[in-house]
Amino acid sequence: MVTETKEAKNSNAKTGTLLVKKALPQMLKSGVIMDVVNAEQAKIAEAAGAVAVMALERVPADIRADGGVARMSDPELIIQIKEAVSIPVMAKVRIGHFVEAQILESLGVDCIDESEVLTPADEEYHIDKSKFQIPFVCGARNLGEALRRIGEGAAMMRTKGEAGTGDVVEAVRHARTILGEIRKLTVLPKEELMTYAKNIGAPFEIILQVAETGKLPVVNFAAGGIATPADAALLMQLGVDGVFVGSGIFKSGNPQRRAEAIVKATTFYNDPAVLAEVSRNLGEPMVGRTVQSLDEKETLAKRGW
Amino acid sequence: MRLAVLALQGDFAEHAEMLRECGAEEVVFVRRAADLEGVHGLVIPGGESTTIAKLTGNTSDPIFDTIIEKAKNGMPVYGTCMGLIFLAREIEGYSQGRLALMDIKVRRNAFGSQKFSREESIKIAELGQDTFPVVFIRGPIILSAGPEVDVFASVEEGIVMCRQNNLLATAFHPELTSDTRVHAYFMGMVKAYAENNCSKKEQTEPLTLGAVKSLAACGA
């Protein structure tokens, strides 16, 4: 009798479990998540086939150009974007700024990006993401960094790349590094795993899991410098689960066309004929800056550890 | 028996894994109409329904019409979450592209934003005595179902599992759990269709190369 009453009231229902948090990014796989700065751009992104939007006040290219401290967006902007679209809405908080994260959670965003694109609030500690009901995505340059974030409760990973440059070289470097390290891990004898965990500064339990399954325990996207359909397909062929496009779309000549093209390229990443077709007449890509031309101080990927 | 998963966007890999666990020997990923040849059952995974509408509409590939034609000829189709929305005749408040094969009216994001996504256990009589773990991720709900639709399960918000002849739909994601009963149930539908389809071919068609190939695909 007791069980029946319970079931009628759905009292065995649980929100915010690790399974539920990891599942949202699973639904976004083979999709494109686009940076948008207002409701109008969000609608264009949704109509072009984006699986989610990242609500920001400035895209990374403008954050670079403007300088100064970059913080969480005005909640008013996030609310407007949430009202404009039916797809998931993500937003960024500064590394370590758990109060910005609490605010975003209360606004009902679907996922929080603890992002190196904003100015870090804490140079030593990242957010304890396991405390939150909604999933976090975090950037990483290598496997150790990815597994530390997962250890803190991140439900999704992405490469850091070098945001706001339009130069894909760092996203490729980080994707190759992470996926290469995973492949290596699967062939190491078990007695070497503890030392490996110590050397890369990663939680041992998660190292064991990755060694056994040959993949991260969460969805892994590429981000940082993707500007063309070919860039998106390149990262997909390297083995990521989907892509973030930041400045690449709305800093280009024809955002709508480019957005649609990148969506198609992410699905048909293995089909050069489709890639050729969607790459035609896209107009000007974002101007971009080569990563090599950046001063050490200008690189964002080194933020966080 | 050849199973397929629509692999344009979403958690298609998880579905393929589940079908293999249920004993499917061949699981193909479908991205264009040609990939559907010789397929006996199709799973439409979880994902974003606006994205799938975009990727199947407005394209030179006839994948959209091919799925409809095959489903109308009896091929079993199972849609989860996005797949359920894509199968529905009517989507409350949206006119987005959909197959409109099932006589159901659905509400997108019926549970609200991700913080209201949840897991729980419910009884589903068709799957046996034990409760089934259901996971709703910004999930839809079925508001109403036509007379040909059999309702299998509901929660407070509305209907979450139903079947209309060869079409099966769940608002939840069994592919994210370790319980294979929904996929096994669907495999049963596919098996019945494949056997029926193959025996019909044997009787009516002369043994052309195509017929031999499709018999081979049925495991005959």
Q: What are phi and psi of A92, to 5 degrees?
A: -100, 145
Average pLDDT over residues B139-147: 98
Q: Which residues of A touch B81 (CB under 8 A)?
A: 27
Q: Which of B199, B148, B105, B55 is nearest to A49 (CA)?
A: B55
| Residues whose CB is less than 8 angstroms from the CB of residue A152 and which lie 6 or more positions away in sequence, other chains included | A126, A127, A128, A129, A130, A138
CA distance B213 to chain A (A): 26
Phi, then psi, of B115 in degrees rounded to 5: -65, -15
Q: How remote is the C-alpha of A66 from its chain's centroid? A: 23
Nearest partner of A51 among A279, A240, A243, judged by Cα = A243
CB contacts, 8 Å: A214 with chain B: none
Structure tokens at A216: 């991260």
Confidence of residue B201 (pLDDT cuts 50, 70, 90): low
Name the residues of B annotated as catalytic.
81, 173, 175
What's the pLDDT band for B214 if we cut at 50, 70, 90?
Answer: low
* Sheet architecture: strand order including A136-140: A219-221, A156-159, A136-140, A111-115, A89-94, A52-55, A32-36, A243-245
Per residue in B33-83, pLDDT (tens digit) is 999 999 999 999 999 999 999 999 978 899 999 999 999 999 999 999 999
A72's CB contacts (< 8 A; 6+ apart) are A91, A92, A93, A94, A97, A100, A103, A104, A118
Q: pLDDT value at position A220?
A: 98
pLDDT in tens, chain A (305 residues): 333 433 445 679 999 999 999 999 999 999 999 999 999 999 999 999 999 999 998 888 898 888 889 999 999 999 999 999 999 999 999 999 999 999 999 999 999 999 999 999 999 999 999 999 999 999 999 999 999 999 999 999 999 999 999 999 999 999 999 999 999 999 999 999 999 999 999 999 999 999 999 999 999 999 999 999 999 999 999 999 999 998 899 989 999 999 999 999 999 999 999 999 999 999 888 888 888 888 888 889 889 88
Query: What residues of A are in contact with residue B121 (Cβ under 8 Å)?
Result: 7, 12
User: How far is the alpha carbon of A177 from chain B, nearest alpha carbon, in Å?
Assistant: 23
Backbone φ and ψ of A43, nearest 5°: -65, -40
Whether residue B9 has pLDDT greater than 50: yes
A137 φ/ψ angles, rounded to the nearest 5 degrees: -115, 140
For the entire predicted model, the pTM comes to 0.93
The partner residues of B168 in beta bridges, in order of sequence, read B78, B163
Count other Cβ atoms within 10 Å, centred on residue A169: 15
Read off the tokens for B206: 């002369």
Closest partner residue to A19 among B48, B119, B155, by Cβ?
A: B119
Place of tokens 């340059």: A141
β-bridge mates for residue A96, sequence order: none
Q: Nearest CB to B113: which of A10, A110, A268?
A: A110
- Residue from A14, A17, A30 whose CB has the most chain B CBs within 10 Å, to mutate: A30
ipTM of the complex: 0.93
How many CB atoms within 10 Å of residue A63?
A: 22
Specify the pairing of strand B102-107 against strand B41-44. Answer: unpaired
Q: Are B10 and B45 in contact (CB under 8 A)?
A: yes
Flag if B120 and A51 touch (Cβ within 8 Å): no
Q: Which of B55, B118, B123 sits opposite A49 (nearest CB)?
A: B55
What letter does residue A11 receive in the DSSP assignment?
T
